[in-house]
Amino acid sequence: MQVIDYFSEIQNLLRSSIFVENADVEYEVKSRGIGIVHGILGLIDGSTLQFMELINIKRDKVIHLKYRYHLMNVNGEMVFRYDNAPIIQRLLLIHTINM
């Protein structure tokens, strides 16, 4: 599997999904094994899913180096955020304890 194959899978899933009303997605091929996909999906209930994946493909296995998924309701309020960013709560706790 190469990055373009992974991107094709995503495109097929988005086209066939009954939940996705519209999609604005960009694909960046950095090399045969590294790529970035990011975009905004408009869902049938009016909510939006903003997402980004930085992937590395090794031996046909997709490794997510970075990812984030933000679901926003119809009013633009965050419903959930899922990512692999460093945990900021630890930094806030340390800062609060040291004050």
pLDDT of residue 87: 66
φ/ψ of residue 94, rounded to 5: -60, -45
Residue ranges covered by each domain of the chain: 3-98
pLDDT of residue 86: 75
φ/ψ of residue 87, rounded to 5: -75, 110
| % residues pLDDT > 70 (the chain) | 87
Mean pLDDT of the chain: 89
pLDDT band at 58 (very low <50, low <70, confident <90, very high): very high
Of the two residues 84 and 34, the one the predictor is more confident about is 34
State the average pLDDT over residues 53-76: 95
